């Protein structure tokens, strides 16, 4: 499922939330965010529930669904979702998925709750 969502040119295919017009999705309550998200709360996607929703890959983590709105960078290893330490953070204008193995890249994500 992930291979078809790999970027062919990350620099031209991804957008920040500012470029998207701002984040208007669900906001994780501050207490939950501080306790389970941010740089100090890494996880691996391996074994998490994954679906394609609205044409975008989505995963469930800690009671929330996250939809990846950007393709993943072509420079990332083909098995990043199984082996890399990831974290979700809010960066001034919206939520992003970060990969510790590739700290310069971030993927814009939307948050949903069941």
Domain borders along the chain are: 3-7+25-113
pLDDT digits (tens, 9 = 90+) for 16-72: 888 898 898 899 999 989 999 999 999 999 989 999 888 899 999 999 999 999 999
CA separation for the pair 42, 84 (Å, rounded): 9
pLDDT for 40 equals: 94
Q: What is the pTM of this model?
A: 0.92
């Amino acid at each position: 499922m992930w291979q078809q969502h790999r970027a062919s040119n990350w620099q031209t295919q991804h957008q920040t939330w500012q470029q998207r017009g701002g984040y208007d999705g669900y906001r994780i309550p501050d207490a939950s965010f501080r306790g389970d998200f941010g740089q100090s709360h890494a996880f691996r996607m391996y074994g998490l529930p994954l679906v394609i929703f609205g044409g975008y890959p989505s995963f469930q983590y800690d009671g929330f669904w996250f939809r990846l709105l950007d393709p993943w960078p072509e420079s990332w290893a083909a098995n990043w979702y199984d082996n890399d330490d990831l974290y979700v953070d809010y960066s001034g204008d919206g939520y992003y998925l970060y990969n510790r193995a590739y700290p310069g890249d971030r993927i814009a994500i939307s948050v949903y709750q069941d």
